[in-house]
Structure 1
Amino acid sequence: MTSAEPHATGPAVERNRPRRAAPLPPDERRQAILRAVLPVVRERGADVTTRELAEAAGVAEGTLFRVFEDKASLVREAVGAAVDPSDLFELMDGMDLGTPLEDRLDVLVSSWLRRMQDVMLWMTLLHQLRKEVAGLHGDGPHGHQEWARRQGEFATGFRERLRRLLEPEADRLAQPVPIAAGLLEVALIGAAARTAGAARTGQHVDPLPTEALVEFVLNGILTCPGRARPAPRP
């Protein structure tokens, strides 16, 4: 009987041995998990299980909760990530201020209205989750303070960007830039609140057309002599 051949060792074997992927830094792992679980949280809502969350993230449940304190913390942060305004801010920061103001407002208003529809969906989901899971936003001073902090940061950043958007047109504006930016903010928030208020009371209102909202911001609701009413866009 021949003896078993010894296991090969040496540099060649080391080169051929598959290497494990380097673990992600903690912050990147956290963000990767949040992105991965968003679809299942959106689909399952308050009924989502820790097993479903772990499967969506591609990790074991134990691994999941070495990153997050518990299911409530994970769901809370997932909703926070879903309504994060970074994509809207990137859009506004990337706008070419040399293009006509009307075109810039078209892009901003259409993006804002789409985003608000998505945010309202997540806020409805958050309201449902708060009934089922302790420790979500608003269920304690820490959650409320964190939510208020995020909202404050968004409002400040959004107002600064609105002013930058309007500054190149300062000589065309009927109001100083800060006031004009405030009026634009009121129009945008009002359009979102109108739809949200109807949804909360079980009503339906048709969303305002982008071009109508832009026309209102720029020219008000009255037609002026010599200015024809704009035709609906296809």
Structure 2
Amino acid sequence: MTQTSATPSRRRAPAMDPEQRRAAIVAAALPLVIEYGASVTTAKVARAACIGEGTIFRVFDDKNALLAACMAEAARPDTTVAHLESISMDQPLADRLAEAADTMRGHMTRMGAVAGALAASGRLERPAPPEPGKDGRFPDREASLAAPRAALAALFEPEQDRLRLAPERLADAFQMVLMAGGRTSSPDPLTTEELVDLFLNGAFAAGPEAQ
């Protein structure tokens, strides 16, 4: 009688549900959209995601739907907020804010890169101008800024007894500074360290002349 060694059967990777598959495809597509804009092919995306090209169209109606999903993902603050919330409170405030600034600048850079790539090829859909609320603010914009602002406010809280303003107001101001800095076209933009130092200590240099 011939003995055969038992060969373990190969298990297939668990199937993804549609939302997981969409997320995986968008994650693979984002760097390609930044590089190629709307001219990126679904074949390239499929290779990057290690799937067949037809799999893309099981979860997206067409390439335009995939591009729109990439823009929406780039604009989402979820990952940025998670990074902000993970910043160690054992660091000095300046170091906490520098880490937060790098995180938020990275988010704005990615969002701008995706938007710029799609706009350059004429495939960025421009939404209708939003209507301001009674307070003059734009509700959708405020909603997208609220979570990062709350995470920033938490970074100020350990020093709140020494702060001139409440953590929430400082977080609002710091967020606006970062957003303005992200749009600058200056040939010599402020570094993260310079921006944080200026925010915390003002424009005067230390010394008798600053008194």
| TM-score bracket relative to the smaller structure | 0.7 to 0.9
- Residue 161 of structure 1 is matched in structure 2 by 151
Matched, 1:32 2:24: yes
- Residue 126 of structure 2 is matched in structure 1 by 138
Question: 1:21/1:149 Cα in 2 relative to 1: closer, same or farther (>3 Å)?
Answer: farther
- Residue 133 of structure 2 is matched in structure 1 by none
Q: How does 1:163-202 map to 2 (within 5 A)?
A: 163-194=153-184, 198=185
Stretches of 4+ aligned residues off by more than 6 angstroms: none
TM-score, normalised relative to structure 1: 0.72
Amino acid at match of 2:92: P
Q: CA deviation at 1:210?
A: 1.5
Q: CA deviation at 1:96?
A: 2.3
> Per-residue displacement from partner, 1:42-82 (whole Å, max 9, x unpaired)?
22212122333333333333321111111001011123223
Give % identity.
Answer: 32
> Per-residue displacement from partner, 1:10-50 (whole Å, max 9, x unpaired)?
xx99x755443331122211111111222322222121223
- Residue 216 of structure 1 is matched in structure 2 by 198
Question: 1:25/1:58 Cα in 2 relative to 1: closer, same or farther (>3 Å)?
Answer: same
Compute the RMSD of aligned alpha carbons: 2.9
For the residues of structure 1 that align with 2:16 and 2:77, how far apart are their CA atoms? 24
For the residues of structure 2 that align with 1:74 and 1:176, how far apart are their CA atoms? 42
Q: CA deviation at 1:157?
A: 0.3
Matched, 1:22 2:22: no
> Per-residue displacement from partner, 1:83-131 (whole Å, max 9, x unpaired)?
43333212211122232111111211233333333332222113124x2
For the residues of structure 1 that align with 2:101 and 2:200, how far apart are their CA atoms? 12
Residue-pair matches, total: 198
The answer on whether the counterparts of 2:153 and 2:171 sit within 8 Å (CA) in structure 1 is yes
Question: 1:48/1:159 Cα in 2 relative to 1: closer, same or farther (>3 Å)?
Answer: same
- Residue 189 of structure 2 is matched in structure 1 by 207
The answer on whether the counterparts of 1:159 and 1:182 sit within 8 Å (CA) in structure 2 is yes
The answer on whether the counterparts of 2:87 and 2:99 sit within 8 Å (CA) in structure 1 is no
The answer on whether the counterparts of 1:163 and 1:178 sit within 8 Å (CA) in structure 2 is yes
- Residue 121 of structure 1 is matched in structure 2 by 113
TM-score, normalised relative to structure 2: 0.79
For the residues of structure 2 that align with 1:55 and 1:92, how far apart are their CA atoms? 33
Q: Which runs of 5+ in 1 are unaligned?
A: 1-11, 142-147, 199-203, 229-234
Q: Residue 78 of structure 1 aligns to a residue in which SS?
A: helix
The answer on whether the counterparts of 2:160 and 2:166 sit within 8 Å (CA) in structure 1 is yes
For the residues of structure 1 that align with 2:101 and 2:13, how far apart are their CA atoms? 43
For the residues of structure 2 that align with 1:54 and 1:157, how far apart are their CA atoms? 33
The answer on whether the counterparts of 2:156 and 2:167 sit within 8 Å (CA) in structure 1 is yes
The answer on whether the counterparts of 1:83 and 1:122 sit within 8 Å (CA) in structure 2 is no
Amino acid at match of 1:189: M
- Residue 34 of structure 2 is matched in structure 1 by 42
Bigger radius of gyration: 1
- Residue 99 of structure 1 is matched in structure 2 by 91
